[in-house]
């Protein structure tokens, strides 16, 4: 069964450093998403991406964040200058069509020191 994959599974970084979180969505999916879950809190939407552009973003997704689909398989989330409060589990998801189920990857646990 196709799955969304994410790398790395864990990342530790120093405050102010740039991080790139990588995702490989399910191969025939067209819609891509990033969510995050701060420890003990609910899962929050960050951004959705379709046809090589952002279709919606939340207030959390400020200028420090960017997304990219650099090739036909990867979907990345970049945080330019990490802050302590960026520490969270970041989930990538994909769906085939806009109304379809979103399938989530296993997540990347980011710790900013």
Tokens read off for 71 = 């090739």
Question: 49 or 82, CB closer to another protein?
Answer: 49
What is the distance between the alpha carbons of residues 93 and 55, in angstroms, rounded to a whole number?
14
In this structure, how many other beta carbons lie within 10 angstroms of the beta carbon of residue 37?
15
- Asked whether position 31 contacts another protein by CB under 8 A, the answer is yes
Q: How many residues bind another protein (CB under 8 A)?
A: 26
- Asked whether position 25 contacts another protein by CB under 8 A, the answer is no
CA end-to-end span of the chain: 37
Would you tell me which residues interact with another protein (CB under 8 A)?
4, 6, 31, 33, 35, 41-45, 48, 55-56, 58, 91, 93, 95, 98-99, 101-107
């Amino acid at each position: 069964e196709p799955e969304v994959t994410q790398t790395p599974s864990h990342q530790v970084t120093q405050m102010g450093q740039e991080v790139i979180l990588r995702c490989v969505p399910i191969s025939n999916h067209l819609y891509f998403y990033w969510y995050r879950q701060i420890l003990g809190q609910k899962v929050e939407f960050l951004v959705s991406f379709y046809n090589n552009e952002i279709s919606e973003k939340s207030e959390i997704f400020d200028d420090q964040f960017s997304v990219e689909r650099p090739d036909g398989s990867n979907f990345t989330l970049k945080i330019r200058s990490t802050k302590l409060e960026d520490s969270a589990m970041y989930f990538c998801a994909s769906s085939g069509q806009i109304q379809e189920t979103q399938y989530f990857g296993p997540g990347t646990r980011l710790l900013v020191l």
